[in-house]
């Protein structure tokens, strides 16, 4: 590997790492928000009854 290759590998690792973690966080937050909305609905339906 040339020195340019090492430089490219290091920056690629940083960007892939940050991108994957951000993706995981965003998906986790979306799933939690969805679950909260479902529970809200369930509670509201129970209150109506």
Partner 1 sequence: MTSSVRRLADSVLPAAALVAMVAALYMVFVYVPSDRVQGIVQRIFYFHVPLAIVTFLAFGVTAVGSALFLWRGGREWDRLAHASAEIGMVLCTLVLITGPIWARPIWGTWWTWDARLTTTLILWLIYAAYLMMRTVSGPGEQGARYAAILGVVGAVDIPIINRSVYWWRTIHPAVLVTREGGSGLSDPRMGLTLGVSFTAILLLFAWLLWLRTESARLRDALEDMRQQVVGQ
Interface residue list for partner 1 (CB under 8 A):
1, 3-4, 6-7, 9-11, 13-14, 17-18, 21-22, 25-26, 28-29, 32-33, 35-36, 39-40, 42-43, 46
Total residues belonging to the chain: 49
Q: In the complex, what is the shortest distance from the CB of residue 13 to partner 1, in angstroms, rounded to a whole number?
A: 5
Q: In the complex, what is the shortest distance from the CB of residue 36 to partner 1, in angstroms, rounded to a whole number?
A: 5
Instruction: Check: CB of residue 9 under 8 Å from CB of residue 1.
Output: yes
∠ Cα 38 42 43 (to 5°)? 120
Distance (Å, whole) CA 18 – CA 24: 10
Q: In the complex, what is the shortest distance from the CB of residue 34 to partner 1, in angstroms, rounded to a whole number?
A: 10
């Amino acid at each position: 590997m040339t020195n340019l290759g090492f430089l490219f590998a290091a920056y690629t690792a940083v960007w892939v790492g940050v991108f994957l973690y951000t993706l995981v966080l965003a998906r986790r937050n979306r799933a939690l928000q969805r679950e909260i909305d479902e529970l809200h609905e369930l509670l509201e339906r129970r209150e109506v009854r």
